[in-house]
Amino acid sequence: MNALKRCWCRIFQGAFRLAIPLLPYRRPEQLPDVASLPGRLADRGCGSVLVVTSPSVANMPGTRRLLDALAAAGISCAVYSKTIPNPTTDTVEEALALYRSGNCQAIIGIGGGSSLDCAKAVGVRAVLPHKPLSKLGGVLKVRRPLPPLAAVPTTAGTGSETTIAAVITDAVTRDKYAISDFPLIPGYAVLDPEMTLSLPPRLTASTGMDALTHAVEAFIGRSTTPDTREDALAAVELIFANLERAYQNGSDLDARRNLLTASFRAGCAFTKSYVGYIHAVAHSLGGAYNVAHGHANAVILPVVLRAYGPAVHSQLARLAQAAGLARPGAGEQEAASAFIGGVEALNARCGIGAAIPELRPQDIPALARRADREANPLYPVPVLMDAQELEQIYRRLLPR
């Protein structure tokens, strides 16, 4: 990267870092199971809620349990169960109509990132009835409290239950954009392991590696704070101790619970301290070939960590200790490589390969330009790379 662009990136990131303590980040209240939620909503005077979910999640036993608990608490319930992957503005409007006709006072999102994002967007539209979502893409455009919002994740990875963003696709133009503002942080994150029991091993692995990538990128970036470092270290420790267990035995409730906590804490870390080039490259591969986000992150993670070189050795050595991968008395360089090797070994044990078979060499320059546009200057990465340097990362992802 040339000196001028390098300088601009670091000034931009420095300004954001200085602003972190001034911004109104909140940590959602964590609830251990769905049965705890109705009481919290009743305490806030909510007599009717909208549940936003997808067709498959609507029929899960955990969802039935929540609906029964709401009824027992005297809270009436409208259920929108047609959320699709990559929810559109039409999806949100349909759910909003149900929110209005049911005179709802609170929203519960149950599902992976798509249902949680849809629930957040319904909340935005409920308080800004005259503003279409297309006018709210970007940062800090909502500026109004949302109705009480609870997030019930059914995967342990996206961290959407803690973040300020909802990603929505325009139903007409197919533009995909993020609405990012502090009121979108849910008030409650229900970390109920029974809600993740039906997740198949492949998705357990890829979503867990997404959470690991959130923690690692937040930890090695230049915008960390003491609390995001603590969250990231705890998440890394929990993922290394529990991901393979949950992958091997999907009904291991203890491992499932620990992964939900890891995902939540990794979400708290990256929503303040950002992600980096691993996510930028993964997003470009998701857009071009529909490669699952967590899977792409898992494959890219060791490649980018190696490319960063000595600049991240001390941070990776700390992560290696947290993950139990460093030999006692190991130096920084040795411990850092133990961490990268540990990520590759975890991938292999969870059935994740070391390449992206969909990637075509002729697409690499355009993909690298896209990752460059996403990451620079926003992401406070430990080592700056321009599009040409990022091309080297993509080449290492080609099947051999």
Give the three-class secondary structure for 399: coil
How many residues at the interface with Fe ion, by CB under 5 A? 1
Choose between 181 and 210: whose C-beta lies nearer to Fe ion: 210
How far apart CA 187 and CA 44 sit, in angstroms, is 12
Choose between 8 and 177: whose C-beta lies nearer to Fe ion: 177
Minimum CB distance to Fe ion, residue 270 (Å): 8
**Token pair for residue 400?**
């051999």
Minimum CB distance to Fe ion, residue 343 (Å): 15
- Strands across the sheet with 29-31, in order? 29-31, 188-190, 149-153, 106-111, 48-52, 76-80
The counts of H helices and E strands in the chain are: 15, 9
Segment near Fe ion (CB under 5 A); pick from 17-25, 81-89, 183-191, 205-213: 205-213
Segment near Fe ion (CB under 5 A); pick from 69-77, 165-173, 204-212, 250-258: 204-212
How far apart CA 216 and CA 300 sit, in angstroms, is 12
Q: Which helix (H) or strand (E) holds 80?
A: strand 76-80
Q: Which of 33, 161, 210, 231 is in the footprint of Fe ion by CB under 5 A?
A: 210
Choose between 112 and 342: whose C-beta lies nearer to Fe ion: 112
Minimum CB distance to Fe ion, residue 279 (Å): 6
Minimum CB distance to Fe ion, residue 159 (Å): 7
Residue with the CB atom nearest Fe ion in the bound state: 210
Minimum CB distance to Fe ion, residue 283 (Å): 9
Minimum CB distance to Fe ion, residue 217 (Å): 9
How far apart CA 258 and CA 1 sit, in angstroms, is 40
Choose between 96 and 166: whose C-beta lies nearer to Fe ion: 166
Segment near Fe ion (CB under 5 A); pick from 80-88, 118-126, 208-216, 385-393: 208-216
Nearest alpha-carbon partner for 15 in 368, 391, 388, 377: 377
**Token pair for residue 25?**
């980040």
Choose between 38 and 157: whose C-beta lies nearer to Fe ion: 157
Choose between 210 and 372: whose C-beta lies nearer to Fe ion: 210
Minimum CB distance to Fe ion, residue 271 (Å): 11
How far apart CA 94 and CA 80 sit, in angstroms, is 8
Choose between 155 and 321: whose C-beta lies nearer to Fe ion: 155
Report DSSP letters for 25-59, one per residue.
---PEEESSGGGHHHHHHHTT--EEEEE--HHHHT
Which residues in this chain contact Fe ion in the complex, by CB under 5 A?
210
